[in-house]
Structure 1
Amino acid sequence: MEDCSAYLSSLIRLNKLISNAGLCARREADQLIESGCIAVNGVVVQRVGTKIPIDAVVTYKGVVLHLEKRRYILLNKPRGYVTTMQDPEGRKTVLDLIGKQHCAERVYPVGRLDYDTTGLLLLTNDGELARKLSHPANKVQKLYHAVLDRAIQMKHLDAIRQGLILEDGLAKVDQVAIVAGDPTQIGLAIHMGKNRIIRRIFSHLGYLVHTLDRVGYAHLTKQHIPRGKWIFLKDQEVRKLKSLV
């Protein structure tokens, strides 16, 4: 029985190993498995949920996958960068700010910031954590600072607090308030992950967002990260992130 338990503890789900190798997140890994792109010890495996020995040789289209060191990067994104791995229009991506000479592992943005939106962006090759942080059920809060084209009316501030019905359903923030007594500057805390949600909330009420800056992500801030710069998260910061989900 002890030998059996030891053997089972040495197994790992194939999609988790693929994710841990930095190739993609687990959901995409399942798709790769089903498509026949993954082989284990030379044999193609197409059954989702397969468990394999941790020391098995796994290949993707003939290329051996190696477990990567986990990387967790916090970036203060400037305007004019897209949060994708590559851009068909040839625009600069957030990965250009990091450079392979500083991080050889292939990291991915957790969620997105618009081209003109600035502020905190987390990048990692930990696919499981990225998935959990992005899931709205886990209510990981983001804090934004918006500057509007004109002073907000109190009735509109109340409407945002109550929640608005947009074209794709209810848009509700966790908190909203005027910043520093200036009604053109609004602070918002939100955990929803809908596309361009804050800009669409203000647009729905007739306001133009001049600047939008993400100033907080969970417990993390950009206090000591200049615009366009980044840091590796410390172990205790990563542990706290994982404790949230």
Structure 2
Amino acid sequence: MTNREGSNKRGGSRPGSGRPSSNKPKPAMAKRAQGPKKAKPETAKDSDKPAKTFGKPVRTPRAPKAPKNPNEIRLNKYIANSGMCSRRDADIYIQSGNVKVNGVAVTEMGYKVKKGDVVNFDGNVVTPEKKEYILLNKPKNFTTSFDDGAEMRNVLELIKGATTSKMSAVGRMDKNTTGLLLFTNDNDMLTKFTQTSQRSSKIYQISLDKNLKYEDLEKIAKGPMIDEHKIYVEEVSYIEDQPKSEVGLKLKTSNVKVVRTIFEHFGYDVLRIDRVAFAGLTKKNLPRGNWRFLTEQEIINLKNS
């Protein structure tokens, strides 16, 4: 074997090739040169955009608000404060032309009423005083009457400072009667609960000077005739776990005098009357001598009772 043949074997050259073989990899192809990116044509929309800034945004100063006139009030609020309906409902009445100011129909939203203007809402003249409702758990020695002399204090003392509105008690209570008493400046509510046709129930707990006979209890349950007038009683019963002189009475009248008259008619002296429920309202969380405003839902319930 010649030296040339040995070198061919070791190098692994192809037969007949004069160049020695190489195991080095071929160099990668150079990347094609890229020209600069073409800018997108600017549109009218883009040209309107303000240039981005990295500082705080510039705020356009607002015009100062006009001072409120204490003698003016928006018409829908005026109607809502009168208790006729909500502001949203008042807007509907205004748009439909059912509200007049000084005799002229007003359909403008945001119209302001001035002091002294006469507002007619759906045929009725309204006042802007907000309707308020206060529930009192009346103690003894206070009366709803103003004619009992200086020794008897009026129940209005107990809610003094609660409101600046002129409030009136719904129904009457003497000095010895305790329990729930409603106050309001809503004349419609006052009228409703003094009518004999009103439908809401009141519950009284009565303490008698002696045990109530069962036969008298049955007569009361049927509705006694007193002074040629039948008194309708919804329910009467003995108080559970109490002496037979403690009686519960449920009827629709808010006149406490009627409650006293029923038992006196059968020969009993009434020692104490406590109104424990009034048209769905109760004494829950209302200690004796305390008061609270009614909730919106309670007001709605009263109006629908």
3-state secondary structure, aligned to 1:207: coil
Q: SS where residue 162 of structure 2 aligns?
A: coil
Structure 2 partner of 1:8:
98
Of structures 1 and 2, the one with the larger relative CO (CA 8 A, separation 6+) is 1
* Aligned equivalent of 1:232: 293
**Matched residues in 1 for 2:287 and 2:132: separation?**
20
Could you tell me how far 1:166 is from its partner in structure 2?
1.4
Question: Kindly tell me: are residues 88 and 192 of structure 1, through their superposed partners in 2, closer, same or farther at Cα, counting changes over 3 Å?
Answer: closer
Quote how far apart the aligned CAs of 1:69 are: 1.8
What one-letter code is carried by the residue in structure 1 that aligns with 2:176? Answer: D
The residue that corresponds to 2:272 in the other structure is 211
Q: 2:95 & 2:247 partners in 1: Cα distance?
A: 56
Offset of 1:193 from its aligned partner?
4.5
Amino acid at match of 1:53: V
SS of the residue 2:253 aligns to = coil
- Aligned AA (2:226): L
Q: Which residue of 2 aligns with 1:138?
A: 198
Structure 1 residues 188 and 11, CA, compared in 2 at 3 Å: closer, same or farther? farther
Aligned equivalents of 2:227 and 2:193: distance in 1?
A: 25
Query: Equivalent residue for 1:126?
Result: 186
Give CA deviations for 1:153-178 in whole Å, capped at 9, x if unaligned. 11000010112121252223110000
Per the alignment, residue 177 of structure 1 pairs with: 237
CA distance in 2, matches of 1:229, 1:106: 19
1:102 Cα deviation from its structure 2 partner: 2.2
TM (normalized to structure 1)?
0.72
Match of 1:108 among 168, 173, 183: 168
The residue correspondences of 1:1-245 to structure 2 (distance < 5 A) are 6-10=96-100, 53-54=119-120, 67-84=128-145, 86-87=146-147, 89-90=149-150, 91-99=152-160, 101-167=161-227, 169-181=229-241, 182-194=243-255, 196-244=257-305
Q: 1:66 to 1:128 in 2, by over 3 A?
A: closer
Judged with a 3 Å threshold, the aligned counterparts in structure 2 of structure 1 residues 195 and 177 are, in CA distance, closer, same or farther, namely closer
Whose Rg is larger?
Answer: 2
Check whether the contact 2:131–2:185 (CA below 8 A) recurs between aligned residues: yes
Contact 2:134–2:293 (8 Å) recurs in 1:
yes
5+ residue gaps, structure 1, are: 13-40, 43-51, 56-64
Q: Which letter does structure 2 place at the counterpart of 1:10? A: K
Once residues 234 and 93 of structure 1 are traced to their aligned partners in structure 2, the CA distance between those partners, rounded to angstroms, is 25
Tell me, yes or no, if the aligned pair for 1:173 and 1:192 is still in contact at 8 Å. no
The answer to whether the 8 Å contact 1:136/1:192 transfers is yes
Deviation at 1:179, TM superposition (A): 0.4
Structure-1 separation of matches of 2:195 and 2:253:
9
Q: CA deviation at 1:88?
A: 5.7
Alpha-carbon distance change, 208 to 11 in structure 1, aligned in 2, over 3 angstroms = farther
Instruction: Please state whether the residue corresponding to 1:10 is helix, strand or coil.
Output: strand
Identity of aligned residues (%): 33
Q: Distance in 1 between matches of 2:217 and 2:279?
A: 24
Structure 1 residue 188 displacement after superposition: 0.5
Contact 1:87 1:93 in 2 (8 A): no
TM-score, normalised with respect to structure 2: 0.58
State the alpha-carbon separation in 2 of the partners of residues 195 and 211 from structure 1: 11
| Residue type of the alignment partner of 1:140 | S
One-letter identity of the residue aligned with 2:271: H
Cα distance change, pair 78–138 in 1 and its aligned pair in 2 (3 A): same
| Gap runs ≥5 in structure 2 | 1-93, 103-115
